[in-house]
């Protein structure tokens, strides 16, 4: 197994759990797509170069999703205390 396959196997469950917590079904589909590509690689249906290109695109999408999630999380952490203070006044 090369490093790409090892990464996919190790990160698969964690990624799916993380994305389910975010309730983002479309991103679960992205992870499922990565898993399918890994299976195709194991069966030698697809070349490693093509797979790496597709993975790069998918990982960029995941990175963007995480950035959006973190931005929302920080906004929520900032807004919540203000709402609590307003409620108490």
Q: Which tens digit of pLDDT belongs to each residue from 68-87?
A: 766 665 655 555 455 555 55
Domain boundaries, the chain: 3-88
Residues 79 and 73: their CA atoms lie apart, in Å, by 10
Q: Mean pLDDT for the chain?
A: 64
Query: Which pLDDT value is given to residue 1?
Result: 46
Query: Which pLDDT value is given to residue 86?
Result: 54
Pair 27, 69: CB distance under 8 Å:
no
And the tokens for 15? 């990624």
Residues 33 and 39: their CA atoms lie apart, in Å, by 10
Pair 34, 8: CB distance under 8 Å:
yes
Q: DSSP code of 76?
A: H
Q: Which tens digit of pLDDT belongs to each residue from 14-40?
A: 555 555 555 566 666 767 777 777 777
């Amino acid at each position: 197994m090369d490093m790409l396959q090892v990464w996919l196997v190790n990160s698969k469950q964690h990624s799916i759990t993380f994305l389910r917590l975010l309730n983002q079904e479309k991103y679960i589909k992205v992870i499922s797509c990565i898993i399918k590509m890994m299976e195709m690689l194991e069966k030698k249906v697809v070349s490693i170069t093509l797979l790496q290109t597709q993975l790069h695109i998918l990982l960029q999408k995941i990175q963007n999703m995480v950035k959006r999630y973190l931005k929302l999380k920080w906004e929520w952490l900032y807004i919540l205390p203000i709402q609590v203070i307003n409620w108490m006044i």
